[in-house]
Structure 1
Amino acid sequence: MFNNSPLSYPQSDVEILESIDPMNSPAAHPLIDEVTLTNVVRRILDSKTAILGQWHAEAIAHHIINNVTAGLQRITGIASDRSKQFSWSVILKILHLQPENAGSIFNSSQDPTHWNYWQREALIYTSGILDNLTGNLVAPRCFAITEPSANILWLWLEDIQGSPGSTWSLERFGVAAHHLGYLQGSYVMARSLPSQAWLSRDWHRAWVSNIDSTALEAWREPTVWQHPLLKEIFSPDVGDRVMDLWSDRHILLDAVDKAPSTLCHFDITPNNLFSRPNAYGDDQTVLIDWSFVGYGVLGEDIINLVLDSIFLLFVDGSSLIPLEKLVLEGYLAGLRSAGWNGDERVVRFNYAAVAALHFGLIAGRLLYLVRNESRYNWLEQRFGRTFDEIIRSRAIAISHALELADEARLLLRYL
């Protein structure tokens, strides 16, 4: 069922991705048979004799941006074993391979070399890689993977009982960054990286290579500054700064590629994070959705933890600088605790350079969005904010990314 081959990953088209509705797919409404469910419940309860009692499945409300995922279900129920009753719950994540849709850039693929290879998350769970994570950063347990029909996989995952990242304090982001730093520092110091060919590669290069440079050039058009919102939140030199960053992309990417490699998740945003106490009462970070896992560099994985938190309105834009400080300090402390004693300017450069390229060059998409008034109401419903608030938050992330580009250029001379 699983194949091996390299992967590359293209640029996200932010607003198109947000509009995908995979719940229209028949795969999103599974017919769950009790034999399969009984086997899963026995794994959950670590019992070979548990008998399934009443149970209930309910769709989880969510915004899926990758149509490899057909749907999410939370299934809860009762089981009996040796005259005792036990409650249980499990998350059913449904992966599927859809026919190509010409209107979507997020088509799933059966080609393991494709950036959106539909079996990747199943592969990472069956590989055992996630069973050997170090420290207090962990993945959900996977109790089973079943294949109810062709081109559909069911992942039976642990129902995480904890505090979601969307409710965290700024300080808790720093704790998660420490946990991440320890894990990634451990790979650099003491472990060989996993060698599976389906792990993602060249994430930052693939992202940048798919940027539409004509959308960036549009910032130089005089008519852009007739829009009152853009005139209020950006300075007129933003177009030149964006194009300067575009011109410097290869210099920055070449320098990033020289940094120490580690295992990266590539989608560490608040909606993929939970905190909970572990068996010893210590604070533990649980990271879900491993669809894009692969090879990256130190500092790369904390970019989304900071800037996506602002861009997607999980954290108020006024808190960007203190959030960034806490995350960078926590991450570096985690690296040190794992034994990494390298130059922290390398980490800071990787963070600044890749963040600049990922978020500074989203300026073209932001301009398109502002000009497309048909999207305003949908976005307001999606985020529960006014369109002005949404754009301001994204503008803060983009503007800061352009400042990080200046910092990356300064740091480059020390590397």
Structure 2
Amino acid sequence: MIINNNTSLPIEKKIDQLYACIHKMIGEIIFEIDAFTCDALENKTLNFTTKGIYHLYGFLQTNNEQLPWSIILKVIKSDSEEKDDIKHHNYWRREALLFESKLLDHLSGYIQAPNTYLVEEQNDGTIWLWMEQVNGRFAQSKEQFNFIAHRLGMFNAEYLTTKAIPDEAWVCKSWLKSWTTSSRKYAPNPGPYIIQLQDEEIKYIWEWFKELTEEINEKLASLSDLPRVLAHQDLGQKNMILTPNDQLVLIDWQFMSISGIGEDLGKMFGANMSLGIIPTDQYEAYRDSLFYSYIKGMREMGWEGDERLARYGYCISTALRSVWEVPQLCSLAAQLESNPTNSKLQERVYQLKQIINIQIAMDYEAESLRGHNYSL
């Protein structure tokens, strides 16, 4: 067998595992592999607990026919003591435990996950996840994002109408609280930057942010009063694949949690603003169309609850992303005042201001909803 291994993985020692995975892919058909290739996939935003993602591919010979095959191999690792905690939002073993549990095998047709062929512990402490390669495209347009939000609403609503919430201990139960705690720990300290800034808009943002952080524990606690659903919680553009037959496949389930309605949508909206996928001049349009599509999906699944509860979860989960972005804005704005002609800094500071203005508006809207006491 000819193996073109373009990585440091000892893939030559995994031929039996490779054959077992392909059998799960095509069934118990007799086949042979004469050659295959293993490449590392470039990814600039790997999770701290992901050591690498690899693509294995080639052709197999069966019944006088040559067929292509392709497998994704994800290698996960322990990263720090906090990520060894089963309650942490980024508990490093969660995705492996999820695949072993077969919990994702019971997803509806509205949202799918890649097939997993093998979960394999290694002597070096890493875990190898052998899984299906999903072919498709990433969302680019508002219509595509609305389609995903609609499917997300259907997915969430199933756990309010027909499906039981998973009770496995390794499913995160307070994702947003864990994430905000970690983000505040690792974000830049805005204090030294605020003193030197002359920008009045940022000073206003800072005053709002101080009030937000004073009330953050109360805001997080209020989310526990929302109806609970299964959530993905990592809906950046490249984790959502639209297949040629109009299916939605979500990959990278490391953050899976039990969350309040609307929270997953807030992560999707906020993350794709931060990543620059949603155009700056369309933030408000996306904010409203995504929620409309989400609620439409929930209604189609028979959920008859008060949509203001979902709106509250959506608003709070978006607004609390500011615990990372406001410190980042202050740091970059200070750099910009020292280097005012830097166009990249100008663009990023402008983008962050627009994102945070949306976060402020959604925080105020959440406070208004809470003031009406819709069971919050």
Q: Is the TM-score greater than 0.5?
A: yes
Describe the shift of the 1:195–1:60 C-alpha distance in structure 2 as closer, same or farther (beyond 3 A). same
Alpha-carbon deviation of 1:109? 4.2
Change (3 A) 1:112 1:208: closer
Query: Are residue 388 (structure 1) and residue 346 (structure 2) matched?
Result: yes
The alignment of Structure 1 onto Structure 2 pairs a total of residues equal to: 359
Pick aligned residue for 1:400 from 346, 358, 371: 358
What RMSD over aligned residues (CA atoms) do the two structures have, in Å?
2.4
Match of 1:60 in 2: 41
2:179 matches 1:198: no
The one-letter code of the counterpart of 2:209 is: V
| Structure 1 stretches lacking a partner, 5+ long | 1-27, 101-106, 226-230
Partners in 1 of 2:271 and 2:90 — Cα distance? 20
Mark the CA change 1:248 to 1:96 in structure 2 (over 3 Å): closer, same or farther: closer
* Correspondences of 1:220-231 after superposition (within 5 Å): 221-225=194-198, 231=199
Aligned match of 1:20: none
Q: What is the SS of the residue equivalent to 1:410?
A: helix
- Paired residue for 1:95, among 66, 73, 76? 76
Question: What TM-score, normalized by structure 1, do the two folds share?
Answer: 0.80
Maintained 8 Å contact 2:237/2:277: yes
Task: Please state how far the C-alpha of 1:253 moved relative to its aligned partner.
Answer: 2.5
Matches of 1:286 and 1:200, distance apart in 2: 21
State which drifts further: 153-162 or 203-212: 203-212
What amino acid is the match of 2:175? W
| Cα distance, 1:148–1:209 mapped onto 2, change above 3 Å | closer
2:130 to 156, 159, 170: 156
Structure 2 residue identity aligned to 1:223: Q
CA drift of 1:68 comes to 1.2
Give the secondary-structure state (helix, strand or coil) at the position aligned to 1:118.
Answer: coil
Counting aligned pairs with the same residue, the percent is 25
| C-alpha spacing 1:58/1:307, structure 2 compared with 1 (3 Å) | same
- In structure 2, what is the equivalent of residue 253 of structure 1? 220
Equivalent residues in 2 for 1:122-137, closer than 5 Å: 122-137=96-111
Secondary structure (helix, strand or coil) at the match of 1:237 reads helix
* Offset at residue 400 of structure 1 (A): 0.9
TM-score normalised to structure 2 length = 0.88
Distance in structure 2 (CA, Å) of the matches to 1:397 and 1:270: 17
What residue in structure 2 maps to residue 322 of structure 1?
Answer: 285
Structure 2 residue matching 1:242: 3-state secondary structure: helix
Match of 2:116 among 139, 142, 150: 142
**Per the alignment, do residues 85 and 273 of structure 1 end up closer, same or farther by CA in structure 2, a change over 3 Å counting?**
same
Instruction: State yes or no: 1:169 paired with 2:141.
Output: yes
Alignment CA distance shift 1:35-1:208 (3 Å): closer
SS of match in other structure, 1:362? helix
Give the SS at the match of 1:117: coil
1:156 Cα deviation after fit: 1.1
Displacement after TM superposition at 1:114 (Å): 4.3
Provide the C-alpha distance between the structure 1 equivalents of 2:87 and 2:309, rounded to a whole number of angstroms: 30
SS in structure 1 at match of 2:42:
coil
Q: Deviations over 1:198-254 (max 9, x none)?
A: 1112122223345259935567x44222xxxxx38x353222111122233233223
Contact 1:134 1:182 in 2 (8 A): no
Offset of 1:347 from its aligned partner?
0.8
Whether the 8 Å contact between 1:188 and 1:260 is mirrored in structure 2 is yes
Alignment CA distance shift 1:113-1:150 (3 Å): farther
Matched, 1:29 2:1: no
Q: Match of 1:37, as an amino acid?
A: L
- Distance between the aligned counterparts of 1:152 and 1:48, measured in 2? 31
1:15 matched to which residue of 2?
none
| Cα gap change, 1:114 to 1:330, in 2 (>3 Å) | closer
CA distance in 2, matches of 1:208, 1:97: 21
One-letter code of the match for 2:166?
Answer: P
Q: Distance in 2 between matches of 1:38 and 1:65?
A: 28
The CA deviation string for residues 342-392 of structure 1, in whole angstroms up to 9 with x for no partner, is 11111111111221122266302332344468xx9xxx9xxxx92322232
- Check conservation: 2:234, 2:267, Cα contact below 8 A: yes
1:118 deviates by 2.0
